[in-house]
Structure formats: C-alpha cells, structure tokens
Amino acid sequence: MHMSIAGILRGARQLAPMSIFVIPFGVAYGIAAVERGMTPVQAVGASALTFSGAAQFAVLDQWDAEISLVAVVLVTFAVSARLIVMGAALAPWVNQLDLRRRILSALFLTDPNFAHTHNALRARETDLGVLVGSGAIGWVAWVIGTGLGASGGLQLVDPRAFGIDVVMPAFFAAMVVPRAMEETRHGYIVVAALCAVMSQPVLPTGWNIIFAAVAGGVVGGLSRDE
C-alpha cells in the first residue's frame, strides 16, 4: 500500500463527474445556513472544515444564540457515526500506511469516496491516493457550492425536477451491484436493507444506518459463501 500524487489525481479524475452533483447540495446548505443566521464566511468555513452534509445540516438545526456546544458534539456524533464503520472497513489497507498518510486518508473520508475506493481496493488498487483524491474533489465541489449558495447569487432550483436528489443513492446502489454479483449469498444484504427501513422510524437520525450495517456485517460474516 502506498500513496502518491498520481493516485490522488487519478482519484480526483474518477469522481469528478459525480462531484458536479455535490454542488447543488452545497448551494442548498449555503442558502439554508445564511437564512439560519450564519455569515457567508461561517457557512463556507463550516463546509471547508467539516465537509459533512449530514453533520452540518444537523448543527444548523441547533443554530441559535442559545446553541449548546455539548449538543453540537452529540448531534454531530450521532449523524456521522457511520464514518467509524467506513473507516473500519478501509482499515486493512489504510493501516499499512504511516501516521501522516493515515491522517490524510481520514481527512476527506465521506460516503462517495469510501464506496469508490473500497471497490477499487478490492480490484487490486494499491494507491490510497485514490481515496484522498476522490474525497478532495468532492470537498472542492461542496465548498464551491456552499459559497455560491451563501453569497446569495443563486436561486435554488428544485433538485427533484432534474432528478438530482437520486444521484447519491443511485451511485451507492451502483457501487453495491458488482460486489453483489460476485457473491452467491445475498441474505445479509436483505437483512441490512430491512433493518435500515424498519428501524428508521424508531432510531435517531443516522443510527438506523449503523444498526443495519452491523446487522448485515454480522449475518454476512457468520455465513459461508461456499
């Protein structure tokens, strides 16, 4: 395992087309943040430093003069805890790197570059620059989008009219397809999907994903493929 500039550029190129669709979500966050009372600089700063739509919208929900810093941490933790699961899944590769490169690997870890890189690593990719690059290109799109939204220069179009709202789930579903096709047993996939849907009304935001992922992991891990 290694990490090179060439790998970073390759990762950025591979996810560049998808990252374009991140911009409208950034715009939506920028508009919402300013409406909620953030300054444009704070909104862009939040996107640049946090780079997590789920966490940032959750914090925005708490945003007022009486904001509780403990609540900020707890809410952020709750909606983003699935990053632990993704980090653990990437750990067999990432932990072969030195500390500095591990930190770099963590910096841009999000759902899309996790999905893309995990598939690439299983297809014998050996350069973790792909993880960093495919994450960094999403970061650029997210920050640009936030800036456009926060500066008030853009009218928000309805993402549903162009189907932009289904891009992310469609991308994740597409990442699952080749993996599912090379396996013979898919019971754990059904378990994960059912657990996610059925626990959604009961568990706090984000926790149904973790519950479903761990349930699928346990069921799949205990069954034998052959």
Partner 1 sequence: MLPLPAAWLGACPEMSEGLAWTAIGLAAATVFALRYAGFWVMERVGMTPTIERFLEKLSISVLVAIVASAVSAGGARELCAVVVGMVAMAVTKSALLAMSVAMCVAALWTLALA
64 binds partner 1 (CB under 8 A): yes
Span interacting with partner 1, options 4-12, 41-49, 123-131, 138-146, rule CB under 8 A: 41-49
Span interacting with partner 1, options 24-32, 47-55, 124-132, 140-148, rule CB under 8 A: 47-55
Residue 174 CB, shortest distance to partner 1, in Å, is 4
Residue 207 CB, shortest distance to partner 1, in Å, is 11
Span interacting with partner 1, options 4-12, 123-131, 148-156, 216-224, rule CB under 8 A: 216-224
Residue 21 CB, shortest distance to partner 1, in Å, is 8
Q: Taking the CA of residue 86 as centre, how many other CA atoms within 13 Å lie in the half-sphere pointing to its CB? A: 20
Residue 95 CB, shortest distance to partner 1, in Å, is 5
Q: Report the C-alpha gap between 226 and 215 in whole angstroms.
A: 21
Residues 6+ apart with CB under 8 A from 3: 97, 101, 104, 105, 127, 128, 129, 132
Q: Which residue has the tokens 């780079």?
A: 51
Span interacting with partner 1, options 5-13, 125-133, 139-147, 190-198, rule CB under 8 A: 190-198
Length of the chain: 226
166 binds partner 1 (CB under 8 A): yes
Among 98, 100, 123, 181, binds partner 1 (CB under 8 A): 181
The angle subtended at Cα 112 by Cα 107 and Cα 117, nearest 5°, is 75
Mark residues 76-105: x for contact with partner 1 by CB under 8 A, - for none.
Answer: xx--xxxxxxxxxxxxx-xx------xx-x
Q: Which residue has the tokens 């708490």?
A: 62
First to last CA, the chain: 29
Q: Which candidate, 133, 173, 99, 105, places its Cα nearest to that of 16?
A: 133
